[in-house]
């Protein structure tokens, strides 16, 4: 055994074995990468959840509600009014005397 190690034959055999091992691993990697992944079904693409089994012990499932959620549309005029109200409220808090002058000008009849 010591004569094989000292002659260098052992190093050559080990190097060849490692080369064959690396080539084998490379081919296995390429073969696995060449497989096609399973494609999702049409229901999965659309986003329809799968039906729940009635005998299932799922916790935390939400039931369908009777009432619909209300949607509120806000137009640009309403946004302007809301912004103006916020600015007036801030003016009243910071400088009440100036706010009184602004209100008097708004309420005074135009001549």
Residue-level pLDDT, tens digit, the chain, 111 residues? 667 667 778 888 889 999 999 999 999 999 988 888 788 777 677 776 667 677 766 655 566 666 666 667 778 888 888 898 898 888 889 988 888 888 788 787 765
Residue 61 is predicted with a pLDDT of 55
Q: How many residues does the chain have?
A: 111
Would residue 45 count as lying in a domain?
no
Would residue 29 count as lying in a domain?
yes
If you ran DSSP here, which 8-state letter would residue 36 be given?
P
Would residue 84 count as lying in a domain?
yes
Query: How do the residues of the chain divide into helix, strand and coil, expressed in percent and rounded to 5?
Result: 60, 0, 40
Give the chain's domain count: 2
Would residue 66 count as lying in a domain?
no
Range of the domain at 91: 75-111
Which residue from 60, 43, 42, 41 is spatially nearest to 51, judged by alpha carbons?
Answer: 43
The encoded tokens of residue 61 equal 């499932």
The kind and range of the H/E element at 13 are helix 9-33
Number of continuous H segments (helices) and E segments (strands) in the chain = 5, 0
């Amino acid at each position: 055994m010591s004569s094989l190690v000292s002659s260098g034959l052992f190093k050559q055999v080990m190097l060849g074995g490692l080369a064959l091992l690396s080539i084998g691993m490379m081919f296995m990697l390429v073969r696995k990468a060449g497989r096609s992944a399973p494609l999702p079904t049409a229901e999965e693409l659309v986003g329809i959840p799968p039906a729940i089994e009635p005998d299932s012990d799922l916790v935390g499932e939400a039931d369908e509600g009777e009432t619909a959620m209300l949607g509120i549309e806000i137009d640009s005029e309403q946004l302007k009014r809301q912004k103006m109200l916020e600015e007036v409220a801030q003016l009243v808090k910071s400088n009440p005397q100036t706010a009184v002058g602004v209100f008097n000008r708004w309420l005074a009849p135009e001549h």
